[in-house]
Structure 1
Amino acid sequence: MKTTINTALFALAIAFTIPAYANVPQQNHFTELDHIANDPARAEDNIQRNAFRHPAETLTFFGIEPQMSVLEVWPSKGWYTEILAPFLKAQGKLTLAQFSKDTDNFRNERNVFWAKISAKLEHYIAENPQRFGQVATLELEPPFLTPQVTDQFDMVLSFRNAHIWNEDGHLHATIETLFNALKPGGVMGMVEHRASRLSDISSSASVGYLDEAYVIAVAQSVGFQLVASSEINANPLDSKNYPKGVYTLPPTLAMGGQDKEYYLAIGESDRMTLKFIKPNE
């Protein structure tokens, strides 16, 4: 399925506000993050994904510091949690905004699946306290955090979640919730599947992809300032035109064995990497 996203109204809002691309991340904590990302305690499949997700480069680009209070949004199976928790456990604090666990009232099979993933990750963390330290949890049922928090975190991180909020009509409100959760001066780091641009005012995307200008404009509309964007997680091999959208590519491989080697050769999706700041009041 292919859709065309008209972003004319947003293009005018951002035309003079997007700073130059920052393609070279700082090296403050790169070595430590890279060591954690390649820790043999991680599953081999997770380590192999470093080549597509560039965790040390990405987190360094966002400016993470070991003493920060960080909110990771919808960590799923904990791919980034395995890096964030060890990095923050001595001086900082990691909080996970998990999927809602109210499975008794769920009618959506996807929500039930997500709830089970959340429970499994929390169990995994609890069984490995020396590795993960003390990790707190909230629930994010878009667009609301439970319990509600304001001005609490130094950094909010979202990896490949925004397309889901957009599909459900909650993108603006959810980003506003994350804005409110940050301290003034706090950073929101976002990685998201990137659609193909057709022109300055439109883009073309299969299921799961979002237009970069649109995402930036939504974030700016709730008060965020775009600090920089990076091509760390770009993938020029991604044509963004597949039978089952972005889920056709690894790691999901929604087509199963059909053309599997072809999709593995493409790798994971082309992704925008955006760093926003909540202005000081």
Structure 2
Amino acid sequence: MPLPIACILTLGLLVTTHSVAADHSPIDPALSVALAARSAEDKRRDAYRHPADTLTFFRIKPAMTVAEGLPGGGWYTQILANYLGAKGTLYGVTYASRMWRMFDFATPDWIDKRVEATSQFPERVASYTDNGITARGFTFEEVPENIRGTVDRVLLIRALHNLNRFERLAKTRTEALASVHSMLKDDGLVGVVQHRAPETADNHWALGNAGYLKQSHVIAMFEKAGFELVAASEINANGLDNPSADDVVWRLPPSLRGSDSDPDERAANLATGESDRMTLLFRKAE
């Protein structure tokens, strides 16, 4: 539960209720309180995920209706559930059930757990807060009719690369962005954080299999889906991440995949930190 405190100590930096985001917008004191209520382990990732600045940039406020795409382990879910409050609504929107089977490492048990997690989203939210927030889980393939046109914000935080990697096979990205468009109110906004490929990178490598997408391609895919760019931010940029065609994003923290037997490579990846990420805000095109 959120703690009624005026300031928090996160990663050695004092963040008061008068904090200011990277775009010079003041941080809502209620958001500072929600951030303070988390575990020390979750707070350690703030240095790369910048949740206060990111959610402020996305113009999220208490009592809104927010759809979180691919909530995964719940890192942002916990923040949102406590910040939106009793008058808020939080939806966990996951990949279409058929998409889980497309991953080459998928096992029947893994698929079943991913599918079950969608319906279990309200229980996950309840594990983070008892403030009475409304919560519901569904997939991009099956957006309930009564939710269409009711959502203030849709967040796609590191959720686009897999949707894009299977686009040619099954139109997964097209389906998801159409669902996002249908969920939003006319004045609603979509917030995107995505691992960013260099614009000079090979287009095939930057399709999402390595976790990275080009910012220009992401903007283009949203424009094709009926959105227009409102703003872009470097809140989540990391200039130390310069991937080559041989790299995947999961070589970096927190996964550190593939460097268990090479201490030097592991140290270099730790020194790089989490990936370079674009941060974009879209609205429905007029």
Give the TM-score normalised by structure 1.
Answer: 0.78
Q: Deviations over 1:145-204 (max 9, x none)?
A: 3434421101111100100100111223311210111010100001001010129x9696
Which residue in the other structure is 2:58 paired with? 62
Which residue in the other structure is 1:185 paired with? 187
**1:74/1:140 contact within 8 Å kept:** no
Which residue in the other structure is 2:256 paired with? 253
Q: Does 1:198 align with 2:200?
A: yes
Which residue in the other structure is 1:278 paired with? 284
Superposed displacement of residue 264, structure 1: 1.4
Name the amino acid aligned to 2:36: N
Superposed displacement of residue 100, structure 1: 5.9
Which residue in the other structure is 2:6 paired with? none
Measure, in 2, the Cα distance between the counterparts of 1:100 and 1:136. 19
**Paired residues, number:** 251
Q: Where do 5+ consecutive residues of structure 2 fail to align?
A: 1-20
Cα distance change of structure 1 residues 277 and 223 upon mapping to structure 2, 3 Å threshold: same
Measure, in 1, the Cα distance between the counterparts of 2:183 and 2:52. 24
Measure, in 2, the Cα distance between the counterparts of 1:256 and 1:121. 33
Q: How does 1:146-225 map to 2 (within 5 A)?
A: 146-148=143-145, 149-169=147-167, 170-198=172-200, 205=206, 207-225=210-228
CA RMSD in angstroms, aligned pairs only: 3.0
Which residue in the other structure is 1:14 paired with? none
Q: Does 1:234 align with 2:230?
A: no
Q: Deviations over 1:190-246 (max 9, x none)?
A: 1001010129x9696471100111111111112111100000000001012375500
Which residue in the other structure is 1:140 paired with? 139
Measure, in 2, the Cα distance between the counterparts of 1:235 and 1:203. 23
Measure, in 2, the Cα distance between the counterparts of 1:256 and 1:122. 36
Measure, in 1, the Cα distance between the counterparts of 2:242 and 2:155. 26
Give the TM-score normalised by structure 2.
Answer: 0.77
Superposed displacement of residue 127, structure 1: 3.8
Superposed displacement of residue 125, structure 1: 2.9
1:156 counterpart SS class: strand
Cα distance change of structure 1 residues 114 and 150 upon mapping to structure 2, 3 Å threshold: same
**1:73/1:157 contact within 8 Å kept:** yes
Measure, in 2, the Cα distance between the counterparts of 1:32 and 1:242. 42
Superposed displacement of residue 43, structure 1: 3.0
Measure, in 1, the Cα distance between the counterparts of 2:25 and 2:280. 15
Higher relative contact order (CA 8 A, sep 6+): 1
Aligned with 2:268 (options 243, 259, 262): 262
Greater shift in the superposed pair: 248-257 or 206-215: 248-257
Q: Where do 5+ consecutive residues of structure 1 fail to align?
A: 1-21
Cα distance change of structure 1 residues 119 and 97 upon mapping to structure 2, 3 Å threshold: same
Cα distance change of structure 1 residues 127 and 64 upon mapping to structure 2, 3 Å threshold: closer
Cα distance change of structure 1 residues 101 and 196 upon mapping to structure 2, 3 Å threshold: closer
